[in-house]
Chains A and B, each alone.
Chain A
Amino acid sequence: MNDHPIRIHVRDDLHRSRLTVFFRPLLVVPHVFWLLLWAIPVFILFPFMWLTALVIGRLPAPIHHFYCAYFRYAATVAAFAFLTANPFPGFTGTPGRYPVELELPPDPAKQGRLGIFFRGLLAYPAAALAGAVGGVAELAVFGGWWAALFTGHMPRGLRDVTAYYVRYSSQVNGYFLLLTGTYPNSSPVIGTLIEPPLEPAAATPMAPPPAPPVVPPAPVVPSAPAPQFPVVPSAPAPEPAPAPEQAPEAGPEPGPEPSPPES
C-alpha cells in the first residue's frame, strides 16, 4: 500500500536523446540557478513557519502550497539531472507536463507539536540515508550516462534507482520542511509509482496540457521474472503474472538532524 503522502509518478519511456544526455550537466545550469533563487524565500521563511506550525499544529495553507510548488519543481530538476527523465523541464513545475512528477499532500496536515519541535533531530537518520542513497544514485547516473550515450536508452534498473533517490530525498526534505508528518519511507517500492509513459503530445510545450493534473496510479502489476533491485512494477504486461503486493513498511523511527536541501 502506498501510504506516504509524498510519492513519485514515473511515466518515462526510457528513451534518452543522446545530445541532451551529453550536455546534461550544462542544461541543468539555468534550473539550478532558478532553484537556488527559489530556495532563498523557502529557507528564509522556514524558521517563522516552524514557529507558526508549533502554535497552529500545521503549516499555513498558502505556505504549504508555495512549498509544494517548490518541491514539485525541485523534483523535476532532480529527475532531469539524474537522467530519470528525458525532456528538458519547465521552470514552474506545473503538474501534468513532465514524465516524472511528485505527488504532494494537497492541503497542510495536522501534525504533532512534539514532532514539529524535534523535526530537525528526527529527520537526521533519514537525511543520512538519503545521502547514502544519493551516492548510489550518482553511480547510477554515471553508468546511465554512458549507457544512454551509446544506446539512446536509460537502463530501467538505473532509472529506477535514480527515481527512488528523487522520491526518497523529496520525502526527507518534505518531512523536514513540515509538508508532512509522515516519516520518509526508505522502501524502494512504496511511493515510487511506475506508470505507462506520457503521450508525446502531453509532454511537448506546443500541445494543449492534459486535463487531469495528476494521473491516478495504474494497478501495480509486477513483471513475472523478479528483476534486480529495486523491485519495480512495470506497465501492465501482455502475460499477466500477478504476485502479492509488498506490504507497507513500519512507521518511522526517531533520530537527529535536518536533511540537506535537494539540488
Chain B
Amino acid sequence: MICGWPVAAYLLWQTSVPSNLNPPRVKAASLVSARARSEARSFTRVEALLILGSMLTLLAVLAVYAVIGPRFTRESAAGPIGTGIMLAILGVGIVYVIQIPWGILTLWWERHKHIADTSYGAWVGLYIDQVWFKALIMSLAILIVVGFARLVGERWWLLAVPVWVGLLLLVTFVSPYLLSGQTHSLASTRLSAAAQRLARDEGVSGVPVRVLDVGGPPNAVSLGVGPSRRVLLWDTLVDGSFSDRQVEVVIAHEFGHHAHDHLWKLLGLEALFLIPAGIVVARLTRRRGGMREPAAVPLGLLVFFALQFLAVPALNAASRRMEAEADWSALQATQDPAADKALFQRLVATSLDDPSPPWWDYLLFADHPTIAQRVAMADAWQRRNRQAAQATSAQSP
C-alpha cells in the first residue's frame, strides 16, 4: 500500500500533452476588452468569496456538531449502524440548512450578472432534491464505513474504499442511461457528421453526442464508461451563440476525456484520496471508540470534510491536467486553433470566466486551466505545427 500509492499517483499524473510545449505567456488584456475582463473579474471574485464562505461555514458547523452530535444517540432505537446513519443525516441536514443563505446569495449574484436564470422557487426545489439525495448517499456511506468498522476494526478503510469506488463506478456507468430520456440528438446534421468524424479521429467511435435542455451558462460534460459513454452538450451551447467550429472544439474536447480514460482516472483519484482520508479518519476518531461506534460519526464527518477541503488544491491540479489533455486532444483532432481560441474568448463573455484569476482563486477553484492558459496552449500547438510543417517542406525535394 505504501509503495503502491505513489506509483498510482505517478501513473494517474501522466498526460499526453508534450512536456516541452513551452506555451507562450498570454496576457489577459490581449484576449478580451478591459471592460469584459473587469466584469469577469468582479463576478468571479464575489462568486469565489461566496463559495469560500460556504465551505468555511460548513466546516464550522461540522465542528460544532462534532462536539454536540453524540448526545443525539439517545434519540435512536436503531442499532449502531442505524444510529450512525441517523447522526450522519442530521449532520447533512444541519449543514444544508445553514448553507441556504449562501446558496441564495450565490443565485442572486448569478442572476444579477445574467449568468443564471433559475427562479428562486426552482432553486429551492433543486436544493431539496439535493438534500434528499445527499441523505441517501450519506446513509450508504455510513452503512459501509460503520459496517466494516464493526466487522474488521480500525482497518475498515481497506474494505470500505474498494466498495465505495465500486459503487461510484456503478453510478458512473448507469448515470447516462438515467438521463437518456431527457436528452435529444443534435439538430444540425453538419454537427452530427462532424461529431462522428471527430470520434473516429480520436478513437472513440460510437460514443454518441446528445443535447440536454437545462439552460444556464453553456457547458458540456462527458459521462459513462465502456458502452455507456456519452457526451452531453447544454442546449445553450448549440442555440446559435457559438459557431459550428467552436462547438466542434467542445465536442472534440469531451471526446478527448473519453479517449484518455479520464473518467476511469477520476475514480482512481477518488481512491487515492479516500485511502489516506480513511486512515486519518480512523486514527482521529479513536478517542470516540473509532468508527464502529455511532458517537464517532459526527467527528468522522468533520475530519472527512476538512480533509476534502485540504485536498482541493491537489485535486484541482489533477483536474486541470486532465482538462489540458482534453484541450490538446481537441486541437489535434480539429486542427483549428483559431476556433479554439475564439471559443475560450467567448466564454469570458457568456460565463464571465476570469481569463487570469488571482493565485488563491486558481488554487481553490480552478479545476480547468485558465482562459489565458488554454489560449496559450492553442498558440503553442500552432507554433509547433508550423515548425513541423516548415521542417517537412525543408526536407522535401
A-side contacts of B74, CB under 8 Å:
200, 204
Partner of B132, one of A29, A91, A99, A203: A29
Q: Measuring CB to CB, which residues of chain B are less than 8 angstroms from any residue of chain A?
A: 72-83, 85-86, 89-90, 92-94, 131-132, 135-136, 139, 294
Do A205 and B92 touch across chains, with their CB atoms under 8 A apart?
no
Q: Which of A23-39 contact B (CB under 8 A)?
A: 23, 26-27, 29-30, 33
Partner of A27, one of B77, B80, B89: B89
Partner of B85, one of A30, A86, A200: A30
Alpha-carbon gap, A20 to B136, bound state (A): 16
Do B75 and A87 touch across chains, with their CB atoms under 8 A apart?
yes
Alpha-carbon gap, A205 to B78, bound state (A): 6
- Taking the complex as formed, is A234 at the interface, i.e. its CB lies under 8 A from any CB of chain B? no
Report whether over half of chain B's contact residues are helix, strand or loop; otherwise say mixed.
Answer: helix
Please judge, given known A-B contacts A23-B93, A26-B89, A30-B85, whether A89 and B77 are in contact too, CB under 8 Å: yes
Report whether over half of chain A's contact residues are helix, strand or loop; otherwise say mixed.
Answer: loop
Q: How large is the interface on A (under 10, 10 to 19, 20 to 34, 35 or more residues)?
A: 20 to 34
17 contacts between A and B (CB under 8 A): A17-B72, A20-B86, A23-B89, A23-B90, A23-B94, A30-B136, A86-B75, A87-B77, A90-B79, A91-B78, A97-B77, A98-B77, A203-B77, A205-B77, A205-B78, A205-B83, A206-B73
B-side contacts of A88, CB under 8 Å:
75-78, 82-83, 86
- Taking the complex as formed, is A211 at the interface, i.e. its CB lies under 8 A from any CB of chain B? no
- Taking the complex as formed, is A247 at the interface, i.e. its CB lies under 8 A from any CB of chain B? no
Q: Measuring CB to CB, which residues of chain A are less than 8 angstroms from any residue of chain B?
A: 17, 19-20, 22-23, 26-27, 29-30, 33, 86-91, 97-99, 200, 203-206
Do A205 and B75 touch across chains, with their CB atoms under 8 A apart?
no
B-side contacts of A91, CB under 8 Å:
78-79, 81-82
B-side contacts of A99, CB under 8 Å:
77
Partner of B72, one of A19, A22, A203, A205: A19
B378 → chain A, closest Cβ, in Å?
47
A71 → chain B, closest Cβ, in Å?
18
B93 → chain A, closest Cβ, in Å?
4
A-side contacts of B135, CB under 8 Å:
26-27, 29-30
6 additional A-B pairs beyond A19-B72, A88-B75, A205-B83, beta carbons within 8 Å, are A20-B75, A33-B136, A88-B77, A90-B78, A97-B77, A200-B74
B-side contacts of A203, CB under 8 Å:
77
Please judge, given known A-B contacts A29-B139, A89-B77, whether A20 and B72 are in contact too, CB under 8 Å: yes
Instruction: Give 6 nearest A-B pairs by CB, closest first.
Output: A87-B77, A30-B139, A90-B78, A23-B93, A88-B86, A88-B76
Alpha-carbon gap, A204 to B72, bound state (A): 11
B125 → chain A, closest Cβ, in Å?
14
B368 → chain A, closest Cβ, in Å?
33
